[in-house]
Amino acid sequence: MKEQISTLPTFNRIRITYTIYPESKRLCDVSNISSIVDKFFSDALVELGKLPDDNYLYLPEVNYRFGAIDKTNPRVEILIEEL
């Protein structure tokens, strides 16, 4: 993630939306997957100097979504919106 995060601008206050695209139709818990990604991603934003902190003053909203099944490219997409 470091390479991708280093290309981002510096933010002050943001909302993050995680959209998961699992590999199979097997039922999964969107929040279990997204919350793990969020923990590491939010901490990385702070550690790499892109966000002052990941508390509610700087990151007041986090959303988790199911996108679709994607057998060829399973992933979690992250949308950052400045508030």
How far is the C-alpha of 81 from the C-alpha of 83, rounded, in Å? 6
Confidence (pLDDT) at 32:
95
Per-residue pLDDT tens over the stretch 62-78: 999 999 999 999 999 99
43-58 pLDDT, tens digit each: 999 999 999 999 999 9
Concatenated DSSP letters of 22-53: -SSSS---HHHHHHHHHHHHHHHHHHTTSSS-
**How high is the mean pLDDT of the chain?**
97
Please report which confidence band the pLDDT of residue 83 belongs to, taking 50, 70 and 90 as the band edges.
very high
Does the pLDDT value for residue 1 go beyond 90?
Answer: no
